[in-house]
Chains A and B, each alone.
Chain A
Amino acid sequence: MTRRRAFSPARFWAIVVKEFVQMRRDRLTFGMMIGIPLLQLLLFGYAINSDPKRLPAAVLLADHGPFSRTVLSAMRNSDYFDFVRQLHTEAEADAVLARGAALFVVTVPANFTRDLLRGERPALLVEADATDPAATSNALHSLRTAVDTALAADLQGPLAALAATPGPVELRVHARYNPEGITQYNIVPGLMGVILTLTMILITGLAITRERERGTMENLLAMPTRPSEVLLGKIAPYILVGLIQVGVILLAARILFDVPMAGDLGLLLAATLVFIAANLAVGITFSTVARNQLQAMQMTFFFFLPSMLLSGFMFPFRGMPAWAQVLGEGLPLTHFLRIIRGILLKGNGAAAIAPELWPIALFAVLALTVAVKRYRQTLD
């Protein structure tokens, strides 16, 4: 290619128009693009939104003093804990949690009442099965208050001093199987990032491979085009689709889940645009590498899983091991989650999100560069 010509807006536009028409014809895919976010939102959102009560709990009681009874009845009265079983050994406790027979095991240590009266702050151990944090987090949150309030009622007169901060007992909560629960407001904004990652990458991942599989690539390549015209032309229509998704999700977040929107929505939209572009660029890169649509799909999931797991969506980012955090920093979703949670929940402004926005932009540019380099202008 000795005669390098400039980018042709006319040809770019030709591709955009063609993609739009094809998208309009492909009702199913278009429906999925709107349906997937709604479905995910409803499923994830409501699972989180529910506030499960009367969760099965077991107790390992080594002290039969009055304060033990106070603590246990306080927990029962909070309505979150339903004591279904009395245990005698720690092995039993482990087994009960592992089988899922109880979601909590409460251990009241020997001499609990005596130590409490001596002001030694005995430890009350609560082990929780946190495989499903949504199930246990509210119960755990209520624990401190329930226990303190109940004990305060008992500790009157000369004992009142014991009720003062930091509280008469030490509450030790072990969330088992899953280090930390995710709160409700975290998840809906996070879902927006996750949904955009999945659908945007998937749809453009198929863009080039589809042309190749249907045999139309030969035709497209026989026309005088620059890779950038084809690639950008294929990306552009989906930016609009992405924005529609964003609208749907934000609306649902507001109406269905009451997610607070503290910050500037215009700023959020601008940042989201960059994030959408980054994902589309990743997708189109996959599309130039994959040999067929199936491969493109596999690559999408190969990218999607770490995004979901290491971005701070599934697990609290700071709770992850260092290597996972390093990987996570390389993913656009990680930065987007911080941006969207920052804007919606904390009301962050442009200055606060800038340090998270540029890595996404950089990622988009890099991915697009790879795509342009990888895009083959010949059939061999």
Chain B
Amino acid sequence: MADPLAIDVRGMTKRFGGRTAVNQMDLQVQRGEVCGFLGPNGSGKTTFLRMLCGLLRPDAGSGTCLGYDVIGQSEAIQREVGYMTQRFSFWEDLTIAENLDFVARMYAVPDRRRAVREGLERLGLSRRRHQLAGQLSGGWKQRLALAACLIHQPQLLLLDEPTAGVDPKARRDFWEEIHQLAGQGLTFLITTHYMDEAERCHRLAYILDGRLLAHGTATEVIRQARLTTWSVRGPRLPQLAERLRALPGVRQAASFGTTLHVSGDDAAALEQTIAPLRTQEHEWRRIESGLEDVFIHLMDRSGTQGPS
């Protein structure tokens, strides 16, 4: 436990054929931290997680995971890591209890029966223990997967979109559980596409085209983006958005229910642009940029300028 970093890797690179899925990525995650791992589809999140737990061999890069060498000590890492795959990967022709039992055997968990029973109870699976995994609904499958990757009491959890398709109540319970475990010293690296979940993380890592674009607490990430955002309320917002997007200084105009968020990275230019539009018809208000504004901005910027 001397090493305060659960994950400490540098220059991690993975190429598939000609294309680079993960490009020179550095990442440090403290022990006991819940780190949100964000990025658009195909940005390399899953690939990065797979490299950490030895499922893919990095083309370049070095570092440690739980103090073990990520290149040479995959087996030691695997014993202390719980990896939840993006796609459900448990055995559909085994029951919940049988799946957990199998996993517990594979990790040689001491007092296996108790571990399985506790795993079932913790995620409310006890009543369904004899149900075949293949017959569970999506949300229950996710719970099974989480229960299974906790059963050997790992130090680090790599969760790949663990709450995709899970109802709000279950998601809340899930995050409560995660914070409780983090309080006990477990480390989490969790990919998600949900902003509310991103806000629940201690720190965030934002990845785009295989590169780490932003890393820090939510506030830090927002501040680093230097984004100015205005909210507009009023009639015919879609038409307004259309007009705004063509104007200088406007990086994005996105609808949020009844309001429109207009942002740009040059505050003065943006203010100048919108000045003539600030009529009686619409109510304009300068607001704090949110995570979503920032992420969409990061995504768009790469589209026009390419990754910096």
Contacts from A to B (Cβ < 8 Å): 1-3, 5, 8, 10-11, 13-14, 17-18, 21-22, 25-26, 214-219, 221-225, 377-380
- State the CA gap A10–B103 with chains docked (Å): 12
Which chain A residues border B74 with CB–CB below 8 Å? 1, 377
Residue of A nearest to B53 (CB): A222
Q: Is the CB of A14 within 8 A of B105?
A: yes
Which chain A residues border B78 with CB–CB below 8 Å? 222-224
Q: Is the CB of B108 within 8 A of A216?
A: no
B75 CB within 8 Å of chain A: yes
Q: Is the CB of B85 within 8 A of A11?
A: no
Q: Is the CB of B56 within 8 A of A17?
A: no
Q: Is the CB of B73 within 8 A of A10?
A: no
Q: Is the CB of B75 within 8 A of A3?
A: yes
> 18 A-B pairs, CB-CB below 8 angstroms?
A1-B74, A3-B75, A3-B76, A5-B75, A10-B108, A11-B108, A13-B105, A18-B91, A21-B94, A25-B94, A214-B91, A214-B92, A216-B91, A217-B89, A218-B87, A224-B75, A379-B55, A380-B16
Residue total for B at the interface (Cβ-Cβ under 8 A)? 34
Which single member of A2, A14, A222, A380 contacts B102 (CB below 8 Å)? A14
List CB contacts (< 8 Å) of B44-90 with chain A: 50, 53-57, 69, 72-76, 78-79, 81, 83, 85, 87-90
- State the CA gap A2–B105 with chains docked (Å): 24
Which single member of A3, A22, A223 contacts B107 (CB below 8 Å)? A223
The 7 closest A-B pairs by CB, nearest first: A14-B105, A219-B89, A224-B78, A2-B72, A222-B83, A25-B93, A223-B106
- State the CA gap A344–B78 with chains docked (Å): 51
- State the CA gap A8–B88 with chains docked (Å): 27
Contacts from B to A (Cβ < 8 Å): 16, 50, 53-57, 69, 72-76, 78-79, 81, 83, 85, 87-94, 98, 102-103, 105-108, 132
Q: Is the CB of A216 within 8 A of B90?
A: yes
Interface centre among A10, A214, A217, A223 (most CB of B within 10 A): A223
Residue of B nearest to A222 (CB): B83
- State the CA gap A17–B57 with chains docked (Å): 30
Given A222-B83, A379-B55, 16 other A-B residues pairs in contact with their CB atoms under 8 A: A1-B74, A1-B75, A10-B108, A14-B106, A18-B94, A18-B102, A21-B98, A22-B93, A22-B94, A25-B132, A26-B93, A218-B85, A222-B54, A222-B55, A224-B75, A224-B76
- State the CA gap A214–B53 with chains docked (Å): 20
Which chain A residues border B16 with CB–CB below 8 Å? 380
Which chain A residues border B79 with CB–CB below 8 Å? 224
Which chain A residues border B94 with CB–CB below 8 Å? 18, 21-22, 25
Q: Given A21-B98, A378-B56, A379-B56, does the pair A223, B103 have CB atoms closer than 8 Å? A: yes
Residue of B nearest to A225 (CB): B106
Which chain A residues border B92 with CB–CB below 8 Å? 214
Which chain B residues border A217 with CB–CB below 8 Å? 89
Tell me the smallest distance from the CB of A93 to a CB of chain B, in Å. 61
Which chain B residues border A215 with CB–CB below 8 Å? 85, 87-89
Q: Given A216-B90, A216-B91, A378-B56, does the pair A17, B102 have CB atoms closer than 8 Å? A: yes
Which chain B residues border A219 with CB–CB below 8 Å? 85, 89-90
Tell me the smallest distance from the CB of B132 to a CB of chain A, in Å. 8
- State the CA gap A222–B107 with chains docked (Å): 11
Which chain A residues border B81 with CB–CB below 8 Å? 222
Q: Is the CB of A380 within 8 A of B57?
A: yes
- State the CA gap A13–B108 with chains docked (Å): 11
Q: Given A2-B72, A221-B55, A224-B78, does the pair A17, B105 have CB atoms closer than 8 Å? A: yes
- State the CA gap A216–B94 with chains docked (Å): 12
- State the CA gap A260–B93 with chains docked (Å): 43
Residue of B nearest to A8 (CB): B108
Residue of A nearest to B88 (CB): A215
Which chain B residues border A13 with CB–CB below 8 Å? 105
- State the CA gap A278–B267 with chains docked (Å): 74
Tell me the smallest distance from the CB of A376 to a CB of chain B, in Å. 10
Q: Given A2-B72, A21-B98, A25-B93, does the pair A378, B55 have CB atoms closer than 8 Å? A: yes
Q: Is the CB of A218 within 8 A of B55?
A: yes
Residue of A nearest to B83 (CB): A222
- State the CA gap A222–B105 with chains docked (Å): 14
- State the CA gap A5–B93 with chains docked (Å): 30
Q: Is the CB of B107 within 8 A of A380?
A: no
Which chain B residues border A26 with CB–CB below 8 Å? 93
Which chain B residues border A380 with CB–CB below 8 Å? 16, 56-57
- State the CA gap A378–B50 with chains docked (Å): 9
Tell me the smallest distance from the CB of A207 to a CB of chain B, in Å. 13
Tell me the smallest distance from the CB of B204 to a CB of chain A, in Å. 24
Tell me the smallest distance from the CB of B275 to a CB of chain A, in Å. 54
Tell me the smallest distance from the CB of B108 to a CB of chain A, in Å. 5
- State the CA gap A5–B78 with chains docked (Å): 13
Q: Given A21-B94, A221-B55, A224-B75, does the pair A216, B107 have CB atoms closer than 8 Å? A: no
- State the CA gap A18–B105 with chains docked (Å): 10
Interface centre among A17, A225, A380 (most CB of B within 10 A): A380
- State the CA gap A15–B70 with chains docked (Å): 26
- State the CA gap A219–B160 with chains docked (Å): 12
- State the CA gap A84–B80 with chains docked (Å): 83
Q: Is the CB of A1 within 8 A of B93?
A: no
- State the CA gap A11–B103 with chains docked (Å): 10
Tell me the smallest distance from the CB of A22 to a CB of chain B, in Å. 5
Residue of B nearest to A217 (CB): B89
Which chain A residues border B83 with CB–CB below 8 Å? 222
Which chain A residues border B90 with CB–CB below 8 Å? 216, 219
- State the CA gap A135–B53 with chains docked (Å): 64
